[in-house]
Amino acid sequence: MPKPLIGVIATHRIVENTYAVQAVGTRNLEALRDVIGAQPLLIPGMPETQDIPQLLEVFDGFLLTGGRPNVHPTEYGHDPSPAYEPYDQGRDAVALELVRAAVEKATPVLGICRGIQEMNVAYGGTLHPEIRDLPGRMNHRMPKGETDEAVIFRLRHPIHLTPGGVFAEMFGAEEVLVNSLHGQGILEPGDRVIIEGHADDGTPEAIRIDGAPGFALGVQWHAEYDAAGNAVNRALFEAFGAAIQKRSACG
C-alpha cells in the first residue's frame, strides 16, 4: 500500500541574512513519518505557484505547521504593527484558502500553533498578537535565549478539555499537559470554530471546525515535538493518520 501523501505548509525564511527560502521544521516531517508512516511533501507559501484544487487532488491530508511569522492582521480586520512582525502574507494567502477548501472536501487537516490560528482566521475569527499582554494571561512564549530543546519544549501547563468532546475522547482525559511556544493566539473564535481546550488563563488551545465532514482539528501547542514518545501528541497524530486512512478507504 502506498504511503499517504501529506502536504505540509511551508514558511518564508531568510537564511544567512541573504537567501529567501521556504522552510518547514524537521520535527513536523519526522512526526508524520514516525507516527503515521506518511510521506510528507512541502507546499510553498507562494500563492502564485499554487493551484488549490490540484493540491486537493494530490494530497491525502494537510499539516499546517507552526512558524515564526504572525498571520497578517488585515486578514482579520485589524491594523498591522511593526512590533509584531515578521508576517508572511504569501503563506496566509495559501493556507487560508487551503483550509476552507480542504474542510469542504473532507480532506483531513491538522493545524499546529500558527496552524490553529490560520484555521480560526479562515472562518472569520480574530487573533491577538501578544496574548501575554491581555489581563490575566500568562506568558506563553518560549524561554528567552534558551537553546536546549528539552527546556524549550518542556511541558509547561495543563489544558482543560470539554468533557465528552473530540479531544477528551481522543486523549482519554479531560486534562493534559502541553508545551508552550507562542505569542499570538486566538482572541475571538470564527463562526464554525468550536473551542474544546483552554489553558488555565483561558487561552484557547484546541479547536475543531463545526460541521466539518472530515478531520479538522487544531492545537496551539507544538504537538510535533516528541510525537512518537509523548502520549498526547502521539494520540493526536494517530487520529490524524486514522482519518486519512479512513478517507482513502472510502475512495
Catalytic residues: 113, 222, 224
Give the distance, in angstroms, between the CA of residue 233 and the centroid of all CA atoms in the same chain: 13
Cell 468532546, residue located: 165
Residue 68, helix vs strand vs coil: coil
Cα distance between residue 249 and residue 234, in whole Å: 22
Residue 233, helix vs strand vs coil: helix
Q: Which three cell numbers stand for residue 49?
A: 505557484
CA 56, 59, 61, 63 torsion-angle sign: negative
- On whether the CB atoms of residues 187 and 126 are closer than 8 A, the answer is yes
